[in-house]
Amino acid sequence: MERSKVLLILNPVAGHRAARKALYPIVQMLCAKESMVTVYSTRAQGEARRIAREEGPRYDRVICCGGDGTLSEVLSGLVLSGARVPVGYVPPAPPMIWRMRWACPPSFHVPSILR
């Protein structure tokens, strides 16, 4: 079985730097599923768009860990590239804040990777 290639684009300052804490659990989970993971950490505005546009088409999946601006950049970069790859989003906020922000019911299960 061929290993899936995953591009992880991380904004290390998102969520008061909470995105950094999410990095290892995300990579560990993906590697446990036999995925090959490439991580890019952004350093400036617009970088997530450039990475997604240039690198995204070479991957089976793209995962964004950052705020809504980072997600917007990743999505627009993929659209500009013409790539049709699944996109995952890991918000860098504690589960309670995430539930409130997205108006999720209390019964909504937040994946353990966000805890």
109: three-class secondary structure by DSSP: coil
> For residue range 17-42, what is the model confidence (pLDDT) as tens digits?
656 666 777 788 788 888 899 999 99
60: three-class secondary structure by DSSP: coil
What domains does the chain contain, in order, with CATH numbers?
Answer: 5-114 (3.40.50.10330)
- Does residue 109 have a pLDDT over 70? no
Per the prediction, the chain carries an average pLDDT of 80
Nearest to 50 by CA among 84, 80, 88, 8: 80
In this prediction, residue 114 carries a pLDDT of: 38
- pLDDT average, residue stretch 51-61: 96
